């Protein structure tokens, strides 16, 4: 009869519920941390409620609490993701062997890689205001990391690996600013991660100016 669908075969009827189950969101603590980091960045931590988080995850608030203790626990976990990635760089052999400049370049390149890999979590770290105990803890850890970078810049300057007349304290801040500013505009897919790493390295350590032609260089 025209307009009437033929009856579904038995195998088709059995498959339908399975497809429905696959469309339901399933989460574990790690994936809920990713949801929370995204929402915190969009709305701000203070302005985000557990209702907002459960709505973003597509689950009930009671289901959310089944996996996590509360909003600040999610914040702590998200910030730990960022900080573990950054401090893990300092434990790498290339960050502790070689000249100060070689170590510094390795750390900066790896910073960019961590930022790309953990973009929502690093973004959250860099936008903290220090309003809660967890935020103040994370800011103190971030200052520790920045101090390690500053020490390497001073060491590279003292070793004569940087141009004369530079202020190591200012340069350390400029270097951190260059890397940290990526969270404001970088989005996955805009530029390949390895190309971004190479571009930041060139910008930070070689600058924008083209080398002077050989005829204009001063003789030794």
Domain ranges of the chain: 75-205
Q: Given this model, what pLDDT does residue 13 score?
A: 41
The pLDDT > 70 percentage for the chain reads: 84
Average pLDDT over residues 137-159: 95
Residue 108 pLDDT grade (very low, low, confident, very high; cuts 50, 70, 90): very high
pTM of the model: 0.80
pLDDT in the model for residue 68: 81
**Per-residue DSSP letter, 11:** H
Q: Annotate 35-60 with DSSP letters as a single string.
A: HHHHHHHHH-TTT--HHHHHHHHTS-
How many other CB atoms are found less than 10 A from the CB of residue 128? 19
Determine the pLDDT at residue 64. Answer: 79
Q: What is the mean pLDDT of residues 164-176?
A: 88
Whether residue 79 contacts residue 134, with contact meaning beta carbons closer than 8 Å, is answered with yes
**Total length of the chain:** 220
At 18, the pLDDT band (50, 70, 90 cuts) reads very low
Local structure of 62: helix, strand or coil: helix
Residue 169 has pLDDT above 60, yes or no: yes
Mean pLDDT within 45-60: 91
pLDDT at 21: 45
Backbone CA torsion sign across 31, 34, 39, 40: positive
Asked if 81 and 49 count as a contact pair (C-beta separation under 8 A), the reply is no
The pLDDT value recorded for residue 218 is 54
Structure-model confidence comparison of residues 211 and 81, the more confident one: 81
**Structure confidence at residue 200 as a pLDDT band (50, 70, 90):** very high
Percentage of the chain modeled with pLDDT above 90: 66
124 or 2: whose pLDDT is higher? 124
Which are the contacts of 192, defined by CB distance < 8 A and separation ≥ 6? none
Cα 111 to Cα 66, 131, 213: the distances in Å are 34, 26, 33
- Which structure tokens are listed for 57? 């995850």
Q: What is the reported pLDDT for 2?
A: 45
Q: What is the DSSP code (8-state) at residue 1? A: -
Q: What is the separation of C-alpha 141 from the centre of its chain, rounded to a whole number of angstroms?
A: 15
CB atoms within 10 A of CB 6: 5
CATH class of 75-205: mainly alpha
Closest CA to 200 of 112, 118, 119: 112
């Amino acid at each position: 009869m025209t307009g009437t669908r033929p009856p579904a075969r038995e195998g088709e009827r059995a498959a339908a519920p399975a497809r429905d189950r696959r469309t339901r969101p399933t989460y574990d603590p790690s994936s809920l941390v990713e949801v929370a980091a995204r929402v915190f960045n969009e709305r701000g931590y203070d302005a985000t409620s557990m209702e907002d988080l459960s709505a973003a995850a597509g689950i009930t608030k009671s289901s959310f609490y089944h996996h996590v203790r509360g909003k600040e626990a999610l914040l702590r976990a998200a910030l730990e993701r960022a900080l573990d990635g950054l401090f893990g760089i300092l434990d790498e052999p290339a960050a502790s062997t070689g000249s100060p400049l070689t170590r510094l370049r390795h750390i900066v390149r790896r910073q960019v890689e961590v930022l790309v890999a953990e973009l929502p979590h690093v973004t959250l770290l860099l936008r903290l205001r220090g309003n809660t105990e967890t935020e103040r803890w994370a800011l103190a850890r971030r200052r520790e990391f920045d101090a390690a970078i500053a020490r390497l810049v001073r060491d590279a300057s003292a070793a004569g690996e940087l141009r004369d007349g530079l202020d190591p304290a200012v340069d350390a801040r400029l270097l951190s600013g260059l890397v940290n500013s990526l969270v404001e505009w970088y989005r996955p897919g805009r530029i390949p991660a390895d190309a971004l790493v190479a571009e930041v390295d060139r910008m930070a350590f070689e600058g924008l100016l083209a080398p002077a032609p050989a005829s204009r260089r001063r003789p030794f």
